[in-house]
Amino acid sequence: MGGLAAQRWGECAGRGRAQIPPVGQLRSDFASRDDAILWITENQLGRRNLSDFQRVELALKREPILRARAKANQQGGQGGVLLPQISAEAKPLETRQEVAKITNVSRPSTCSLGKVIRVRRERSIGIRGGRRMTNTQQIFEEIVAGGLPRIRAFVSDQQEEHLYLDFKKASEGHGPASSDDRAHLAEALSGFANSDGGVIVWGIECKSVQKGDPDVASALRPIGNLMTFLADLQKATAEVVAPGVIGVQHISIEDETGQNQGYVVSFIPRSEGEPHMARGKHQHRFYYRSGSSFLKMEPYMLADRYGRRPHPKLQIACWGNRDTFLSNVNIDIRLRLKIGIRNTGLGLALHPALEVKKDSTFRYSTTGINGMGLHTLLLTNTETEDFLAGGPSGQSVVVYPGRTLWVGRWGSAVSGLEVHNLKPELSYAAYCDGFSVHGKLKINFEAFFYATGERAEIELDLLEHGCVEDDVERRSGE
């Protein structure tokens, strides 16, 4: 019992109220941490003052535990007997149905809210200290944070190699690093740096299960004399590629034996400068990453890279808020969107412009981005009344790397009875000198409503909260 709870219990007992049960008592007889989480979430779901969003969020915390136990049941059965897929004990967990059942929230609402929660979790991984991370940074930090269990999960899950992830085993099984290890490092440094960056996990064997299948993590091969192997990788990083790649990191993850063995995770960032040439054993070639392989760069690729300068890269930014008001006998909901152009590249975005197709659900606000007539770009209304901002006044506007230019606001008022059914789409095209992106903003009204919650007046990043999906159809200039 905590100190405050004990004090209150003493006060009640002193006043003749000893029949009041003490608060703060905790169970300590759980077999595992997972059992404790299941017990806590089950008791929290019994509260009557929880919103639908909070109920679904609690229920989804139970999902990975129940799914893992169902998988273990199917693989190990009862008494070590493998259960067939059709057995009742091995029946797959139907997440949406189970969550809807234990939360008493309708299945469609569960689907919408679950998507919001999962997107929040996924995208929170990509935000550190207010900056947006690349796919490579996300993967690297996930592995380092997950440690040894994350390394083992690659093999148990038969993780495939992909554009940003590669597995290598030490050729000798221990340090120091051999000439083959240096050649593999050179190839990866060149290939990842000349592409979008990537991560290598050293100490995992990778092969295809069947002919024609992709390579997957198949076995753990912990590296002996780990610290020597790590030191050799750090030294070789500056020697086996020219010019050197800035920002490379090598992190060791020791296993539980305490005998200086384990794994190394290498982070190789994308390079915006001249192409990098591998200089390992029998090399002196330029590589790039394609799928799960490193390929030699063609002459035209090298010609393009030697002329490379930092380029802009545009994404749509979409923030919004809502409020409710009484209309006749119905409660209506007013939703407001603020749409802008975000430059996620490393170059200046010159002459920006934004086009948004007309939609019957949302109307453009002529009062400007601040509600007082401010327009950051020149507005043009075509015959179809599509929204177009850019043109002559855009020539003096620049979107700097990492910045957002807010262009316009849109609003919509809908009946509270319709909020579950409306999923409008806004088609857009964003342009700047040397780059363009076309796509659709798919708006989920129900997710919008629940994500804003009680803080409806505060603007939220709707893409980060899963209320709006940016369905990019094509890009040019990358």
**187-216: average pLDDT:** 89
Which pLDDT band holds residue 342 (cuts at 50, 70, 90)? very high
**412-419: average pLDDT:** 66
Residue that wins the pLDDT comparison between 370 and 337:
337
Residue that wins the pLDDT comparison between 461 and 93:
461
How far is Cα 469 from Cα 462, in angstroms, rounded to an integer?
Answer: 8
User: Is it the case that residue 325 has pLDDT exceeding 70?
Assistant: no
- Which of 43-47, 97-101, 198-202, 391-395 is the most confident on average? 198-202
Which pLDDT band holds residue 215 (cuts at 50, 70, 90)? confident
User: Is it the case that residue 340 has pLDDT exceeding 80?
Assistant: yes
CA–CA–CA angle 318, 320, 323 (5° rounding): 165
Comparing 294-303, 353-362, 366-375, the range with the smallest average pLDDT is 366-375
User: Is it the case that residue 198 has pLDDT exceeding 60?
Assistant: yes
pLDDT tens digits for range 432-467: 888 889 998 888 777 776 666 655 567 778 888 777
Comparing 18-22, 34-38, 462-466, the range with the smallest average pLDDT is 18-22
Which pLDDT band holds residue 181 (cuts at 50, 70, 90)? very high
**394-398: average pLDDT:** 67
User: Is it the case that residue 281 has pLDDT exceeding 80?
Assistant: no
Which pLDDT band holds residue 253 (cuts at 50, 70, 90)? very high
Please name each of the domains of the chain with its CATH number. Answer: 24-105 (no CATH), 133-306 (3.30.950.30), 314-476 (2.60.40)
- Which of 188-202, 206-220, 287-301, 310-324 is the most confident on average? 188-202
How far is Cα 144 from Cα 130, in angstroms, rounded to an integer?
Answer: 20
pLDDT, position 99: 62
Residue that wins the pLDDT comparison between 100 and 143:
143
**403-409: average pLDDT:** 88
User: Is it the case that residue 415 has pLDDT exceeding 70?
Assistant: no
Q: The dihedral of CA 58, 61, 65, 70: what is its sign?
A: positive
Residue that wins the pLDDT comparison between 212 and 184:
184
For the chain, what is the mean pLDDT? 76
pLDDT, position 10: 56
Which pLDDT band holds residue 110 (cuts at 50, 70, 90)? low
pTM above 0.85, yes or no: no
Which pLDDT band holds residue 231 (cuts at 50, 70, 90)? very high
The DSSP bridge pattern shows strands 241-242 and 314-327 to be unpaired
pLDDT, position 301: 80
Q: The dihedral of CA 438, 443, 447, 453: what is its sign?
A: positive
Tokens of 83: 């259960």
Residue that wins the pLDDT comparison between 8 and 196:
196
233-238's contacts with Cβ under 8 Å and 24+ in sequence apart are 233/177, 233/181, 233/185, 233/202, 233/264, 233/266, 236/177, 236/182, 236/185, 236/186, 237/185, 237/189
**180-186: average pLDDT:** 94
Which pLDDT band holds residue 383 (cuts at 50, 70, 90)? very low
449 Cβ neighbours under 8 A, 6+ residues apart:
322, 333, 419
- Which of 27-31, 128-132, 154-158, 230-234 is the most confident on average? 230-234
pLDDT, position 127: 39
Which pLDDT band holds residue 346 (cuts at 50, 70, 90)? confident
pLDDT, position 476: 78
**387-396: average pLDDT:** 61
User: Is it the case that residue 310 has pLDDT exceeding 80?
Assistant: no
Burial category of 315 from C-beta neighbours within 10 Å (exposed 0-12, middle 13-18, buried 19 and up): buried
Give the alpha-carbon dihedral of 380, 381, 382, 388, to 10 degrees.
Answer: 50
pLDDT, position 73: 64
User: Is it the case that residue 128 has pLDDT exceeding 80?
Assistant: no
User: Is it the case that residue 286 has pLDDT exceeding 70?
Assistant: yes
Q: CA-CA distances (angstroms) from residue 436 to 29, 231, 303, 357, 395?
A: 59, 44, 23, 16, 16
Amino acid at 467: C
**369-391: average pLDDT:** 67
